[in-house]
Structure 1
Amino acid sequence: MMVALVTAQFRRAKEQFDSPCLELYEHLLPIYNQSCDVNTESAALRLICEKLQFVSVEDIKQESIAIHKMILDGYGVFEKSADFENTQGLSIVLKKIEDFLLKESENNGGGCVEKTTQVLSRRDLPSHTDETCVKLCCQSLVVPEEFRCPISLELMKDPVIISTGQTYERACIKKWLDAGHRTCPITQQILSSTILIPNHALYSLISNWCEANGVEPPRTRRLGNFWICKETSDGSSELINLDTLIRKLTSSYIEDQRFAAGELRILAKHADQNRILIGEAGAIPLLVDLLYIPDAGTQEQAVTALLNLSIYDGNKERIMASEAVPGILHVLKNGSMQARENAAATFFSLSKADENKVVIGASGAINALVALFGEGSQRGKLDAATALFKLCFIHGNKGRAIKAGIVPKLVEMLTEPDEEMRDGALAIISLIVSHPDAIEAFRSTYAIPILVEFISNGSSKNKENATSVLLYLCRGDPCYLLIVASLGVISPLSELAENGSERGKRKAAQLLELLGIAVAAGADSKGYDLTVHY
């Protein structure tokens, strides 16, 4: 692709290149303009080969294949019909370079090398061109640098942002990524994500510049007149213009923003196809911006829309790439109760991936979730509990939760009449008890008798979890052993060891072994404090 890029880019932006590049351009252009039957000086071809690092016919073969692919794809440096007419010249250049390399190889004793390059003819080209391409009204019009794609140097029609913050034409950066590259072409930074986020602000500036300079504005394929289906309350369907909703998200009127976020929330609630389309349309970064709006209603609609969109796994990556975590945390701390509940649920949804658990935990979200767990509505507590449970699969998040004071709140929840709350609290305890700080945190609670009660009368799952927690506590502090033994746990543990699940049997047998050793060795229990703390 080097030849294609050199010829196309130099023609568009000759003034932007340094002297060595201009020298290459001056040598390449005459050959490009020659017919195939004109002999070209070997010195010029040798210079071009050195500059472009062509050393074998295989290099030319790869260039020829690349040009064919770019033509068939219908975009990149061949996107406009004028470029299609110039492919003959590119092929002539390649053929002359190939003939030169073959001759050099023969002169150097390399023998005969198979020829691979064929001159492209008009019949090799697609029978149609892209009628939606941007057509500049005057070749002398200077396009602002920030409006050009760094890859193609063309005026961008569909600018998108990659994870490093750089903006490119969608078609160009997509070809770069599709070729297997995972770095930014400009900065060479490794990409944390391959998600492409539409740059609406730049797209708007380009459109305004085109109108002001008499240039046909870009017609992006991204949205246009794009309609998606919305189910109404009476069971019928209604078509909604997605482009209109996207524009309203950036409106200067808060009512428009709230309405658009609310519509997107509804559209993303049930239909996975809608979630995909909304995500690809670029709504996510605009919804993230609305998380900081002081209007409580808009905040709630925006965070709920993100929650619904996150159900589709592809949008989880888009949400994280849009740096949404600080905004969701802002709502979790400062929003209405319903908005806080949905922010917690969004963190739960995003924490499916381990790398997201780390980012969310490091953001300070654990403290805010623990606060909601303690003071929220019943639903808020459940949403916080499910998010904390997911996040605490990461060891560092266990320590954060313990330091945020979650242990006393969890023990208190173990006595809740709501079964779902009890089950959730015990599940979280079973996760965090393995952290070194857990032993000390449980010391000042009345957890031991409650856990013994779960082993005696709880569900199968709760019996397993309670046994696992007691096993950790007793291993961490021998003082707990005789306390547990004194509460009549031996019989229900023996039952679990006989009839429980494989995990239940194993945990019960291990705890019974510890208790047997303690009881046998410690009938004399002078060294132990048998007080149960309440």
Structure 2
Amino acid sequence: MPKNQTLTQIYTSLSLSLSLTMNLAWRGRRATRRAGKKLEGGLNLITPTNFRCPISLDLMKDPVTLSTGITYDWDSIDTWIESGNNMCPITKQGLTNLDPIPNYTIRKRIQDGCVHNRGIDRIPTPPTLLTSLEASEIVSKVVVVEDREGCLETVKKIKDLVKESDWNRRSVVAHGGRIALSTAFEAMSEPKASFRQNGIVLREILSVLTLMFPLDEKAKSPLCSSPSLTCIVWLLKHGDRLGQRNAILVLQEIVSTDQEMANALVEIQGAIGALVNLIKESSCPTTTKAFLMTIYYMVSSSISNQKVIARFVEVGIVPLLLEMLVDSERSVCERALGVLDRLCSHDVGREQAFVNALTVPVLVKKLLRVSDLATEFSVSILWKLSKSEKREEEGGGVVIVQALQVGAFQKLLLLLQVGCGERTKEKASELLKMLNLHRDRLECVDYGDFKDLKRPF
């Protein structure tokens, strides 16, 4: 055999052997990484099979045993049960009891293994999981309102448990926790009780209720009573920032699905002034949006006539909304425009909008800049103002003149080109016809930064 051929065969054989060895080593390392975690010294710790969840195949951080005797990691089996499955994933047997039983033995062995092997972080102690009996017992204690201190302690305990895990929240809700809390709130809001004496308990109850949204009709019913609504408004005016936040979130939850409650809230003394004043002080977008949505439902109610709108206008809501629109995030901007649109449906609201220098420039600025909803509201408000103002045929009205000056004609044309809803399209077309009558006489200027406008607020 020639010498060159021999060397070639030897080289090829060595290359194949090396390639096979490297491939097997790579597969081994990959399998080891999937089964365990690499330690600092370069070795790999193999995770025992009974330490791994049968569903995720990962190291169990919170091992729990079901009624079938199989142990799973809590996050995995909770997702399985929450998806509507009522059988054990391994045995396929029906689960007679959905309450998870913490497996302290396996958890202790896993934690000891983590401590022994410094390369793995010790798994944290998992949250407490309520059983059906425990959830029922703790909920039953809430309704004992005669013992104010005991009720407060129970409410705080429920709050801590609900925050710990979604399982606890569902367990408390399933055993009537929302109804019990709202009933206790109503009982402590009765005229014979002092808001100041029960203020701490009332604030805690609202805090827990915000963790259990959405509220069903049975849970809302006690909160919709006149004493409860009066108490919530009192908390808005006299509570701290966190208490005010929880109060307005609950208030929004109540009025969002019940028009009668929006009507009832209008009649609560001091409610309108408190809502508008607190918007000025609010620095939290979530709270601001809740205030705006509550006001939106109030001015959209069946009794929101000129008298109700006038009460909102008197406390300065129109300039406040316009000032917010200058520089606000999208969701806040949409809600502020929605409220302003409702206010401009009545004469008293339009009168305030007419005299404010920000009105037309800020509305035109929001066209095609924020969202489709914001554009619809902006067009609607401009249309209402233009249709209702008194103007001379030759010179045009104030709204028409200002709208042309800040470029409304071009933006409305673009809006029709890109497309919009049918009602918005009709209003935009009508606005264009009114603007076109005076377009040649007026010069378009840019008020992009609103620097030259006098802000009345």
TM-score (norm 1): 0.50
1:358 shift after superposition: 0.8
1:496 shift after superposition: 1.4
**Aligned ranges 1:286-305 → 2 under 5 Å:** 286-288=187-189, 292-294=195-197, 297-305=200-208
How many equivalent residue pairs? 297
Task: Determine which structure has greater relative contact order: mean sequence separation of CA pairs < 8 Å that are 6+ residues apart, divided by chain length.
Answer: 2
Q: Is the 8 A contact 1:344 1:383 kept in 2?
A: yes
**Hey, what does 1:237 align to over in structure 2?**
130
Q: Is the 8 A contact 1:411 1:445 kept in 2?
A: no
CA offsets per residue over residues 66-114 of structure 1, 9 Å max, x none?
xxxxxxxxxxxxxxxxxxxxxxxxxxxxxxxxxxxxxxxxxxxxxxxxx
From the superposition, tell whether residues 504 and 244 of structure 1 become closer, same or farther in structure 2 (CA, over 3 Å). Answer: closer
CA distance in 1, matches of 2:361, 2:201: 47
**Aligned ranges 1:46-445 → 2 under 5 Å:** 234=127, 236-238=129-131, 239-240=134-135, 241-242=137-138, 245-246=141-142, 248-251=144-147, 253-254=148-149, 256-263=150-157, 270=170, 272-275=173-176, 278-279=179-180, 282-288=183-189, 292-294=195-197, 297-305=200-208, 307=210, 308=212, 311-321=215-225, 323-351=227-255, 352-363=257-268, 364-378=270-284, 379-394=286-301, 395-396=304-305, 397-442=308-353, 443-445=355-357
CA distance in 2, matches of 1:431, 1:235: 48
Aligned CA-pair RMSD: 3.4
385, 390, 407: which one pairs with 1:473?
385
**Aligned ranges 1:451-530 → 2 under 5 Å:** 451-477=363-389, 478-498=397-417, 499-519=419-439
Any gaps of 5 or more consecutive residues in structure 2?
1-98, 102-124, 163-167, 390-396, 444-451
CA offsets per residue over residues 126-165 of structure 1, 9 Å max, x none?
xxxxxxxxxxxxxxxxxxxxxxxxxxxxxxxxxxxxxxxx
Q: Is the 8 A contact 2:293 2:335 kept in 1?
A: yes
CA offsets per residue over residues 211-260 of structure 1, 9 Å max, x none?
xxxxxxxxxxxxxxxxxx99997262241314652354321x53x23223
CA offsets per residue over residues 266-317 of structure 1, 9 Å max, x none?
6696564344773499534335358814465433202334554771122222
1:508 shift after superposition: 0.9
Q: Is the 8 A contact 1:433 1:473 kept in 2?
A: yes
Q: Is the 8 A contact 1:392 1:398 kept in 2?
A: yes
Q: Is the 8 A contact 2:409 2:432 kept in 1?
A: yes
From the superposition, tell whether residues 291 and 381 of structure 1 become closer, same or farther in structure 2 (CA, over 3 Å). Answer: farther
- Letter of the structure 1 residue corresponding to residue 401 of structure 2: L
CA distance in 2, matches of 1:369, 1:341: 11
CA distance in 1, matches of 2:194, 2:414: 52
1:484 shift after superposition: 0.7
Q: Is the 8 A contact 2:182 2:223 kept in 1?
A: no
- Letter of the structure 2 residue corresponding to residue 332 of structure 1: L
Q: Is the 8 A contact 1:248 1:260 kept in 2?
A: no
From the superposition, tell whether residues 319 and 296 of structure 1 become closer, same or farther in structure 2 (CA, over 3 Å). Answer: closer
CA distance in 2, matches of 1:389, 1:291: 31
SS of equivalent to 1:346: helix
TM-score (norm 2): 0.57
CA offsets per residue over residues 359-383 of structure 1, 9 Å max, x none?
1011131211111111123133222
CA distance in 2, matches of 1:334, 1:281: 20
CA distance in 2, matches of 1:361, 1:367: 11
Any gaps of 5 or more consecutive residues in structure 1?
1-228, 525-530
What percentage of residue pairs aligned between the two structures are identical?
19
SS of equivalent to 2:189: helix
